[in-house]
Amino acid sequence: MTVPGTGRHRSDGSPEVDLLHDDAERELAYRSEAVSSGSAEPVTEAATRLGWTTVSMRDDWATIFPEA
């Protein structure tokens, strides 16, 4: 499920986005942990805490790799 963020952007104007690699059928699905806070936490939790927008490859992308 996509989690809308606060629309935060970096100082250079680029959006803060967490891309979930959660589509095992079309790509490799895996979970990551953020360790920059000193202790490991799921990246999705860190993204939510920081106000980032989470995007799901499974739920939000119609195409991951176009057919050649």
Helix (H, G, I), strand (E, B) or coil at 32: coil
**What pLDDT shows up at residue 49?**
83
Q: What is the pTM of this model?
A: 0.65
Q: Amino acid identity, residue 54?
A: T
Answer for the pair 63, 25: CB distance below 8 angstroms, yes or no: no
Domain ranges of the chain: 17-60
* pLDDT tens per residue, range 45-67: 888 888 888 899 899 988 888 88
* pLDDT tens per residue, range 15-46: 788 888 888 888 888 777 776 656 678 888 88
